[in-house]
């Protein structure tokens, strides 16, 4: 999905968080809304990161095309990043002064630390998977070359034996 669509989903979820807080819902309900919001924000950040990575490694066989102008794409990414920053500041405000104030600054820091830990763990998993894929492809190449070499060697041996046998008769 593009950043604009993901930003709309994150904004809708964030508005749900604000509404839950305004209505004085239970903290558990607010956590659920925050979780939904965080999921959309994570998807948005991944989409922005994927746009940047996709541009860095284009497929060598596909024609490169762009859905948006440079200015439009840059503005979409910029707007999405700024909106997420604004939402995160308001979430921090909830931890410090709002309905989550019983958790305080330590709660907010713990939340951010946990989020960073999960991000790092996932990043390592993706890197590991990519490394394993590359190893798998390298092994296929090695076994293919070895198999072809053995076949060529056996064929050469068979041709030499046939040639020698034909000349001995």
pLDDT tens, 92-150? 888 888 777 888 889 888 888 888 888 899 889 989 999 999 999 999 999 999 999 99
Residues 128 and 88 in one domain: no
Could you tell me the CA-to-CA distances from 6 to 29, 44, 79, 116 in Å, in that order?
22, 5, 12, 21
Residues 156 and 86 in one domain: no
Residues 96 and 112 in one domain: no
Task: Report the domain count for the chain.
Answer: 2
Residues 109 and 94 in one domain: no
Residues 94 and 15 in one domain: yes
Domain that holds residue 154: 105-169
pTM across the whole model: 0.58
Task: Look at residue 150 in the predicted model and tell me its pLDDT.
Answer: 96
Domain boundary residue, one of 102, 118, 135: 102
CB neighbours of 17 closer than 8 A, spacing ≥ 6? 30, 33, 34, 37, 91, 94
Cα–Cα distance measured from residue 84 to residue 17, given in angstroms and rounded to the nearest whole number: 14
Residues 1 and 52 in one domain: yes
Residues 48 and 77 in one domain: yes
Matching residue, tokens 């920053």: 85
- The alpha carbon of residue 122 and the mean position of all alpha carbons in its chain are separated, in whole angstroms, by 8
Domain boundary residue, one of 63, 86, 102: 102
Residues 52 and 98 in one domain: yes
88 with 14: CB under 8 angstroms? Answer: no
Average pLDDT, the chain: 81
């Amino acid at each position: 999905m593009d950043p604009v669509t993901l930003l709309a989903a994150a904004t809708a979820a964030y508005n749900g968080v604000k509404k839950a807080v305004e209505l004085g819902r239970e903290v558990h309900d607010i956590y659920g809304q925050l979780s939904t919001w965080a999921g959309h924000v994570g998807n948005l950040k991944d989409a922005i990161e994927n746009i940047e990575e996709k541009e860095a490694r284009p497929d060598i066989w596909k024609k490169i095309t762009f859905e948006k102008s440079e200015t439009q794409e840059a503005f979409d990414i910029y707007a999405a990043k700024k909106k997420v920053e604004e939402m995160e500041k308001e979430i921090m405000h909830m931890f410090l002064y709002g309905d989550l104030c019983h958790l305080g600054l330590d709660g907010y820091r713990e939340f951010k630390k946990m989020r960073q830990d999960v991000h790092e763990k996932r990043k390592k998993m993706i890197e590991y998977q990519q490394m394993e894929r590359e190893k798998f492809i390298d092994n296929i190449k090695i076994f293919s070359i070895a198999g072809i070499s053995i076949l060529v060697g056996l064929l050469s041996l068979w041709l030499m034996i046939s040639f020698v046998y034909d000349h001995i008769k």
